[in-house]
Structure 1
Amino acid sequence: MSAAFLPTPLARAIRLTLSLGIVATSMPALAQDDSPESLDALVVSATALKVEAPLVETPRPASVVEEEELRERNVQSLDETFQYRAGVLSGHYGDDNDTDWLKIRGFDQATYQDGLRIYREGFYQWLPETYGLERVELLKGPASILYGEAPPGGVINAISKRPTKEAQGEVLVQAGTDKHRQLGVDTSGPVAGADNVRYRLVGLYRDGEGDLDFTENERYYVAPSLAWDITDQTSLTVLASFQKDDAIPTNPFKLAYGTVQGTPFGKVDPSTNYSEPGYDTNERTQSSLGYALSHQINDVWRFEQDFRYSELDLLLRSSYIFFQTGPREGQRYLTYRDGKIDSWTVDNRVVGNWYTDRTEHTFLAGVDYQDLNNKGQQNGVGGFSMFGSPIDLFDPQYGNFTPITPADLVVTEIDKQQTGYYLQHQLRLDDRWVFLAGARYDQAKVDNINHEANTRQEADDDQLSLSGGVMYLAENGVSPYVSYTESFQPIAGTDGNGDLYEPRTGEQIELGVKIAPRNLDGYVTAAVYRIDEENSLGTSQGGFQIQDRERTTEGFELESVSYLTEQLELTAAYTYNSAKVRDQATAGSERQAPLIPRHQASAWLDYSFTDLAPGLKVGAGARFVGETKDGSTEVPSYTVFDMMAQYAFAPQWQAQLNVSNLADREYVASCDYWCYYGAERSVVASLRYRW
């Protein structure tokens, strides 16, 4: 694809991407080998290729956030992880305690944990606990070649903490605004002094209130794991987790009236809660058991198998504002779910590595299988119904409703199976060229059953997904690349009429450069891309999820994590994203996609006082999100600031303070039929003891 045939902003971005290679060759030495910390520019990830490989030598766009950064920024939920990375939008629905909301390159993403899919169907949302993670990896763009069904946005892979060879542990105590309280324990090491068996036990208790009046969440979490080196060639790691949440759901839904639109009664206060606090509940219990097995067959071939069984039980009564009925009144609706998800997934693969005089080969072949059953009660065919009398939008009064009864419920069931066969070959030529090619064939089956009406809807879909890439590894650390990927996603859900959705398909072409010169302790990446998706989902002007559109994103990303001096580290990102939607209902007219800003930028600086005050480290960041549109509704841009300070005041003790939205700015984060205020200021103090 030539820049001459692309829209002007994207063409300029391509020229900027290519010019970065010239800039990098003249970059001064910004960090020294004896710096107190080092970023190893060759960050190794297994998510981009399903085999461990340095990200800067991989012709696929990816980012990694390590445990140290998760800890320093006090990341409390998965959707906070990539706030300082390019191409990622989070916080657009404000404070929400029952879902991780992320958009990658303008699209939804698939969430994995330890390389296996986390099932999130409708309101049955599996929530990874960030205290139990050692890092989070992001593969941007369509990724069906390795992961089967997935939206075009990409794949987020949360990596659980694993047993360590050395004995270690910590106790963490936190307190903060909104009555935040947290106690964490993490201990690991050899079992009974044995060298080949190791354990880890991670536990957490957290309690706190939400941004909305009368909302709260209490969580219990425990994750034991055991690693066993069975022989020199074979290893097994068993991973388990249990998590229980008891909450009053935070539904940040507001109308445009009173948020981005003026009223005779002023603005709606961000903390206003249109739910029914004495009736609404979100009781979620999730548990899993799985393992990762690796066996080195010989000097060339290795067999790997990942398996996990998971179960999620949910009782959700969640009321929310739906539409305006008068100058200061609105009608509420209710979503009710009482059911569970049982799922298991297994991924089998063989990896081969061999060499010739001029080449290095990495071959991957695999078969994976995913099985999901989601059965439960819900209110009505569409899963929602009118709830109570109209409520005052500016001064809500509670209690004027009739509780839901068994007669209002229907029993629905979704069965979903998918089998995928995939091949991937990476060829490294003369230690300068990297060629990557892959193909995957998926067979997916979805059954949607209404037990009350005794009806069944079936959908069988087969899909061939392809991918390829080429990268040149220059001596100066500048590595340009081009890649092509595809995505495929059967949707185990139904529309407002109870009909199954059609599968979504997507494709991406990307041109980029990854820069990691020897004199830079860190990396710089830049990329331009175009993603096209068919059968897209969106929110209609009536508030329903509909499938009548196509979606295109053209964008540019710039990202860097680097040490500017021995003590000063910079994380910076910029994203340009032109996301367009074409609606079939309006004869293919094109408009800007809601929620997605054209411009985003962020920067975070860390400074370690190694000489003046050893043990003291401070950090500060800014996050800018440009204006967005939902039809004729315009949402202004906003900028929020964060800060961190930590001090190791004794060999095993550390204190830390984190503040997000430092100025407590009040802003509307986005509108998509409903409008959502951004998260308010949060202040959390931590005390950590390690051994």
Structure 2
Amino acid sequence: MTREQGLGRKLRRHIVTGVVTSGVVVTGAAYAAEQAPVAQGETMVVTGTALKVPTPLLETPRSASIVESDELEQRAVTQYDQALNYRAGAVTAPYGNDAKADWFLFRGFSGEKSTYQDGLRLFREAGYLWWKTEPFGLERVEFLKGPASILYGEAPPGGIVNAISKRPTEEARGLVDIQGGNKGHRQIGIDTSGPLTERGDVRYRFVGMFREQDWEQRGTDNERVYLAPSLALDVTDDTTLTLLASYQRDHGTPANVFYLPYGTVNDTPFGKIDRDTDLGDNDNDRLEHRQISIGYELEHRFNDTWRVEQNARFSTLDLLLRTAYPSYMNGDRNAVLGLTDRDGSYDATTIDNRVIGNWYGDGVENTLLLGFDYQNLDAEYANRDAFPYGSIDIFNPGDADFGSRGNKTNFDLGKEQYGLYVQDQLRLEDRWILMAGARHDNARVTNRQEGGDNQGYDDSQMSYTGGVMYLGDYGLSPYLSYSESFTPNIGNDLDGNAYDSSEGKQWELGVKYAPDWLDGYATAAVFDLKETNTLYPSGGSSSNQGGERHSRGFELEGVGYLTDELQVKAAYTYTDVTVDVSDTQQDLRAGIVPRHQASLWVNYGFDHGALDGLTLGAGARYMGTSVDSPQYSDTAVAAYTVYDAMASYDIDQNWTVQVNANNVTDKEYISGCEYWCYYGESRSIIGSLKYRW
């Protein structure tokens, strides 16, 4: 039986049984359940991202998706924003192949502040101080769609994405992965874990990776070092402590992904700009990025009814970023350049405490969640941005005139937030699922500029959620849900008044389908999502507030084995987003978000004959037409389709060779425009040799 065949068995355990896995806190018993064979009809349960308690995905009245580590490895995902390429509701890498950060759009809203790891926020704030996630260190990626403030506090309305770190395992195992490819791609990774004691009450895992690669533009490159040790201890039969740490360093010349519509989507007398053309300042552009985290996850069970969970993390990030970019055209060939120059750091502390109770009665099962969480961010950075920085001939970048950095200005940003939340889930007669929750948050934001006033503010917010689901016959379960979100806004309007928080509200109607005859699932959902108090341009130095961003859409997603050998992943998304951009320009189509997108991935694993051990996979990703943000231009971006492929062969039970190709046809396309336009990734080919034990 090939490894892909084994995935078919796992799919019943991980998806058809409907587990929304999170690993926020995983007990030793949960790990044992994960490693032991699961009998037909049993449900393996671990803590869930969607509801923060053990809940089957197919019994959750919310849309959610999961990408397991097997799929990340099969598709050779090396950048975090590639993880959701084949899932509904997410636009991945809308700003091209950007080395500075991972980018998502969720249901038409930016996912910039939607990133979590192990259930705790990853901060992306203040002058490009953005935490980055390494896919090689992940067990899985979970995507909860729509507002999530009831459990996570401050969050954009589109959804959250939660990365789950690799953790210690009960059995000894390991992996060495050596890769090489075009664009100077070279990588070596090691992943080893197992028990440290005979009893197995102390377990370890160590993940390490080194990668070097060239970016799309000539003269740009990056080196990454990633280390992630972890240790799990069964303190008692009822108490488990897991320690998690990570170190990551990026070093290189950053890719300048910013291009103007002129010469990309719009014709010129001199043709188009090649996608590998760097319009920055290679001699001076620099990226030095270092991030360190250390944390723990603790669970204690009092009895069969009550348990407490706590997870916490301290993280620190240091950044030096210097990159030039074209700002606007000055004539037919020359662009005026600007310079982004930031040097800073932040320290962040996050902690989440939960009390969970489960009890049962005649035809009744109830789960109560009480929680308190806290987060604190302290960031400082120096800004030496310069404008204008110089000029460049966009068709002959060697003909450029660069200036000097700007004067140094220091900034100090702080954010402190704590929230109390309660959620109750009620299951009646194995037919009805009822859910309700509420949360109260207090947030304090400081925003100081050297020589200026503090533009911070205090805010408090109530958030609510509710849902109902009917567990029907034949695996068909319709549901209706309501959820809310809030996002504090930093700064003041033209009259000096501090901004209010933007608020999101969503209604979602859907159905989940997992029949007995299919080793897989299908979901469909329609949603109406609205954010009020949206900021929009004023024509002055700050924005107005009071606008609205409205997203309505339909999502269809399915994952399953049609046979023991043939697996299919399919997704379709329709998203219609409108936005107010001024007092008189209302309900305009939002920029960079396509109305239609679809994807299909198929892989076939041979399990007998001469081809035993061979797995072939192929995928297609379609993105429909999009437009520039209406406050900038009426530029239209053409639809595009790119194709991916893979082939792997299990030489024996230890050795595997694999080849992956993304954008097989090397299609040149623009992924989107938002004042600037962004080229999508060119063809990428990666070959790997893996040894497992």
Aligned mate of 2:594, from 592, 597, 619: 597
TM-score (ref. length: structure 1): 0.91
Matched, 1:566 2:567: no
**Which residue pairs with 2:359 in the alignment?**
354
Partners of 1:369 and 1:637 lie apart in 2 by 43
Matched, 1:436 2:435: yes
**Which residue pairs with 2:658 in the alignment?**
656
**Which residue pairs with 2:272 in the alignment?**
267
Aligned mate of 2:680, from 675, 678, 681: 678
Identity rate, percent: 49
Partners of 1:569 and 1:167 lie apart in 2 by 29
CA contact (8 A) 1:434 1:472 kept: yes
Partners of 2:448 and 2:523 lie apart in 1 by 47
**What SS does structure 2 have at the residue aligned with 1:255?**
coil
Aligned mate of 1:257, from 258, 262, 265: 262
Partners of 2:499 and 2:413 lie apart in 1 by 13
Partners of 1:304 and 1:507 lie apart in 2 by 29
Matched, 1:115 2:115: no
**Which residue pairs with 1:296 in the alignment?**
301
Higher mean displacement: 232-241 or 606-615: 606-615
Higher mean displacement: 133-142 or 187-196: 187-196
Partners of 2:543 and 2:288 lie apart in 1 by 24
Tell me the CA shift for residue 534 of structure 1.
1.9
**Which residue pairs with 2:391 in the alignment?**
390
TM-score (ref. length: structure 2): 0.91
Partners of 2:605 and 2:183 lie apart in 1 by 30
Deviations for 1:71-96, whole angstroms, at most 9, x for unmatched residues?
A: 00011121111110111101221111
**Which residue pairs with 1:669 in the alignment?**
671
Aligned mate of 1:216, from 196, 221, 241: 221
532 and 38 in structure 1: CA distance in 2 versus 1, 3 angstrom threshold = closer
CA RMSD of aligned residues (A): 2.2
Matched, 1:369 2:395: no
Partners of 2:583 and 2:545 lie apart in 1 by 13
Which residue type is aligned with residue 42 of structure 1? T
Partners of 1:347 and 1:355 lie apart in 2 by 26
Tell me the CA shift for residue 650 of structure 1.
1.7
Deviations for 1:443-474, whole angstroms, at most 9, x for unmatched residues?
A: 001011113x1421221111000000000001
CA contact (8 A) 1:108 1:154 kept: no
Tell me the CA shift for residue 397 of structure 1.
2.2
Aligned positions of 1:193-342 closer than 5 A: 193-342=198-347
Aligned mate of 1:504, from 498, 502, 516: 502
543 and 668 in structure 1: CA distance in 2 versus 1, 3 angstrom threshold = farther
Deviations for 1:123-145, whole angstroms, at most 9, x for unmatched residues?
A: 11101111000001110000000
**What SS does structure 2 have at the residue aligned with 1:71?**
helix
Please, which runs of 5 or more residues in structure 1 have no aligned partner?
A: 1-31
CA contact (8 A) 1:224 1:240 kept: yes
Tell me the CA shift for residue 34 of structure 1.
12
**What SS does structure 2 have at the residue aligned with 1:70?**
helix
Aligned mate of 1:554, from 552, 555, 570: 552
Partners of 2:79 and 2:49 lie apart in 1 by 20
Partners of 1:524 and 1:56 lie apart in 2 by 10
555 and 542 in structure 1: CA distance in 2 versus 1, 3 angstrom threshold = farther
Matched, 1:627 2:625: yes
Which residue type is aligned with residue 438 of structure 1? G
402 and 499 in structure 1: CA distance in 2 versus 1, 3 angstrom threshold = farther
Aligned positions of 1:431-470 closer than 5 A: 431-451=430-450, 453-470=451-468
Higher mean displacement: 70-79 or 420-429: 70-79
Deviations for 1:569-627, whole angstroms, at most 9, x for unmatched residues?
A: 000000010011122x2414221110100100000001001123111101000000000
592 and 541 in structure 1: CA distance in 2 versus 1, 3 angstrom threshold = farther
Partners of 2:671 and 2:210 lie apart in 1 by 29
Partners of 1:173 and 1:573 lie apart in 2 by 32
**What SS does structure 2 have at the residue aligned with 1:53?**
coil
CA contact (8 A) 1:539 1:673 kept: no
Tell me the CA shift for residue 656 of structure 1.
0.5
Partners of 1:201 and 1:562 lie apart in 2 by 32
Partners of 1:229 and 1:130 lie apart in 2 by 28
**What SS does structure 1 have at the residue aligned with 2:272?**
coil
34 and 549 in structure 1: CA distance in 2 versus 1, 3 angstrom threshold = closer
**Which residue pairs with 1:414 in the alignment?**
413
**Which residue pairs with 1:401 in the alignment?**
402
CA contact (8 A) 1:168 1:188 kept: yes
**Which residue pairs with 1:152 in the alignment?**
157
397 and 547 in structure 1: CA distance in 2 versus 1, 3 angstrom threshold = farther
CA contact (8 A) 1:539 1:672 kept: no
495 and 250 in structure 1: CA distance in 2 versus 1, 3 angstrom threshold = farther
358 and 207 in structure 1: CA distance in 2 versus 1, 3 angstrom threshold = same
**Which residue pairs with 1:43 in the alignment?**
18
523 and 542 in structure 1: CA distance in 2 versus 1, 3 angstrom threshold = farther
Partners of 1:220 and 1:174 lie apart in 2 by 15
35 and 535 in structure 1: CA distance in 2 versus 1, 3 angstrom threshold = closer
Which residue type is aligned with residue 437 of structure 2? G
Partners of 2:75 and 2:107 lie apart in 1 by 23
541 and 213 in structure 1: CA distance in 2 versus 1, 3 angstrom threshold = farther
